[in-house]
Amino acid sequence: MRVSMIAAIMRKELLDLLRDRRSLISMLVVPLLVFPLLISGMTRLMPRLQQRAEEDLQSMGIAARVSNPAARDAIEKLGLKIVEADDFKAAVQKKTVAAAVEEVEGTPPRFLIYVDESAPVSGTGGERIREALTAFRDAKVRESLRRSGIDGGVLTPFAITRTNVAG
Amino acid sequence: MVQARGKASVYAGRAVIEVRELSKSFPGAKGGTVQAVESVSFNVGFGEVFGLLGPNGAGKTTTLRMLATLLRPSSGTAGVNGFDIVREPARVRAQIGFLSGDMGVYARLTPREMLDFFGRLYGMEPARLAQRMAQLFEMFGMTPFADVRGDKLSTGMKQKAAIARSMLHDPPVLILDEPTAGLDVPTARVVEAAVLEAKQAGKCVVYSTHVMEEAEYLCDRIGVIGGGKLRALGTMEELRERTGKQRLREIFLDLLGMADGRTACASQ
């Protein structure tokens, strides 16, 4: 096909497109108006959803079956209500608790966190438990290093901080 | 070889279109196959208007679409100005101007823009293209609506634009599928005049229509197709002799076995 033919087809298609209101609306109006509106809406909605998940987490509480006293103490320090439950999986599925954590014996011991990812409150609860246990594990590592005469600073040779300067 | 309309003498020179045992079958809706065209053969020469008549579903459009290389024959073949429709479809397309039943006028382009677009696709020189467009606008009285978008045109205007497009590159062969369908009498007369002008210019015209008077008026020879088969082929005189009828309407019905008012033989 000759270049002039390709140019003719391009010109025709462009002309056709520019005169097609529906195509123009979907190409210009949607990206320029609808997408920013959607993004703006989502930006406003997400903090509200997060706040509501936190409130629901406080009222629902979590279930915990942890024999290690220090680990249990770390979880209790979250300040969340600890609820009794027999079957953790079923309790999370039925939403009687936001999330649950269970210590499984072994070497090393394992902490199993139950969450229902379809429910924001459960995801938030599971994340809070994970953060508490991670902090507990880091503290244990630092304590072990200290006892071995190694400075805990080897674990964090530098720090990273992120600052939000948005008004 | 330019012939006057209505003369009994018909093309006797080199065939421009040579159709040989052309057949086309399609998969049926409930399995099996539908034989749309079956072993159709005919020739058409320069300066001849060849009419293809038949009831709905007879196979006219399928035959024309095969000639225009838009459909590949199931068997048989055809030559257009020396080029084979199966082996040399691109060369065949350069020889023909094809008007299909659906017109194919772009809704958001004006007739001027549409003709300009097709002229460039045909590789016409700009000066030649402008000259040819002016000729066609004059011939079809298109100047008043040459810059009106396709979706604002009447059926007649669209049909004029579509015919002008098929004649734009001045092809030696015109294949016109029901070019006057849905047109009022004055517009149909413009189309008929254009066909006669093409004939006078020595072009080969294959013309499909439902309008008997039109076929009788325009066509040098007529092929009657029914049920995918060519039932008869000849000049009006030859068809009259064969059937003993005078008017093409009666000849047509007689050839299709519908002279007593029965409804169909298209599938025979």
Over residues A106-153, the pLDDT tens digits come to 888 899 999 999 999 999 999 999 999 999 999 999 899 999 999 888
B113 vs A15: CB contact, 8 Å cut-off?
Answer: yes
- Going by their DSSP bridges, the two strands B229-234 and B221-226 should be labelled as antiparallel
A8 vs B117: CB contact, 8 Å cut-off?
Answer: yes
What's the CA gap between A85 and B106, in Å, rounded? 70
Q: How many domains does chain A have?
A: 2
Residue B26 forms contact with A (CB below 8 Å): no
A4 vs B123: CB contact, 8 Å cut-off?
Answer: yes
CA distances for A128 relative to A72, A77, A142, angstroms:
14, 11, 21
* Same domain? A81 vs A37: no
Interior/surface letters A38-71, b for 16+ CB within 10 angstroms, e for the rest: eeeeeeeeeeeeeeebeebbeebbbbbebeeeeb
What's the CA gap between B214 and B222, in Å, rounded? 11
Which one of A5, A7, A12 has the shortest CB-CB distance to B109? Answer: A12
Within a domain: A26: yes
Question: Would you say B139 and B165 are in contact if contact means Cβ atoms under 8 Å apart?
Answer: no
Quote the pLDDT of residue B7: 39
* Same domain? A76 vs A33: no
pLDDT in tens, chain B (268 residues): 333 333 333 455 678 999 999 999 999 877 888 999 999 999 999 999 999 999 888 899 999 999 999 999 999 999 999 999 999 999 999 999 999 877 689 999 999 999 999 999 999 999 999 999 999 999 999 999 999 999 999 988 999 999 999 999 999 999 999 998 878 888 889 889 999 999 999 999 999 988 888 999 999 999 999 999 999 999 999 999 988 888 888 888 888 887 665 554 444 3
* Same domain? A65 vs A111: yes
* Same domain? A47 vs A88: no
Which two structure tokens, joined as six digits, stand for B219? Answer: 């066509």
Question: Would you say A71 and A101 are in contact if contact means Cβ atoms under 8 Å apart?
Answer: no
Bridge partners (DSSP) of residue B25 are: B35
Check: complex ipTM more than 0.85 = no
A15 vs B109: CB contact, 8 Å cut-off?
Answer: yes
* Same domain? A32 vs A114: no
A5 vs B121: CB contact, 8 Å cut-off?
Answer: yes
Chain A, 4 to 43: residues with Cβ < 8 Å from chain B are 4-5, 7-9, 11-12, 15-16, 19-20
Residues on chain B touching A12 (C-beta within 8 angstroms): 106, 109, 113, 117
Q: Choose among B20, B24, B27, B17: nearest CA to B38.
A: B24
Q: What three-state secondary structure class fits B243?
A: helix
CB pairs under 8 A between A and B: 25
Within a domain: A163: no
Q: Look up the domain containing A18 and give its range.
A: 3-52
Burial of B268 (0-12, 13-18, 19+ CB in 10 A): exposed
HSE, CB side, 13 Å, CA atoms: give it for residue A37: 6
Which two structure tokens, joined as six digits, stand for A31? Answer: 């990206």
Maximal C-alpha separation, chain A: 81
Residue B106 forms contact with A (CB below 8 Å): yes
Within a domain: A162: no
Nearest CA in chain B to A21: B108
CB neighbours of residue B47 within 10 Å: 21
What's the CA gap between A50 and A44, in Å, rounded? 11
Q: Choose among B11, B36, B40, B16: nearest CA to B24.
A: B36
End-to-end CA distance of chain A: 57
What's the CA gap between B1 and B200, in Å, rounded? 9
* Same domain? A79 vs A98: yes
Q: What is the pLDDT of residues A20-55, one digit of tens each?
A: 888 888 888 888 888 899 999 999 999 998 899 899
* Same domain? A18 vs A37: yes
Quote the pLDDT of residue B268: 38
Residue B86 forms contact with A (CB below 8 Å): no
A5 vs B108: CB contact, 8 Å cut-off?
Answer: no
* Same domain? A89 vs A36: no
The answer to pTM > 0.90 is no
**Is the bond preceding A109 in cis, omega lying within 30 degrees of 0?**
no
* Same domain? A18 vs A66: no
What's the CA gap between B47 and B163, in Å, rounded? 18
* Same domain? A89 vs A26: no
Instruction: Give the sign of the dihedral formed by CA B10, CA B13, CA B14, CA B19.
Output: positive
Q: What is the pLDDT of residues B180-225, one digit of tens each?
A: 887 888 888 988 999 999 999 999 999 998 888 899 999 999 999 9
CATH superfamily of B15-104+173-255: P-loop containing nucleotide triphosphate hydrolases (3.40.50.300)
Q: Count each helix (H run) and each strand (E run) in chain A, helices first.
A: 6, 3
The one-character DSSP state at B145 is G
What's the CA gap between B119 and B108, in Å, rounded? 18
Nearest CA in chain A to B109: A16
The one-character DSSP state at A152 is G
Burial of A11 (0-12, 13-18, 19+ CB in 10 A): middle
* Same domain? A44 vs A96: no
* Same domain? A82 vs A140: yes
Bridge partners (DSSP) of residue B206 are: B50, B175
Quote the pLDDT of residue B266: 42
Within a domain: A39: yes
A8 vs B120: CB contact, 8 Å cut-off?
Answer: yes
Which one of B106, B120, B123 has the shortest CB-CB distance to A16? Answer: B106
Q: Choose among B55, B93, B90, B73: nearest CA to B19.
A: B73
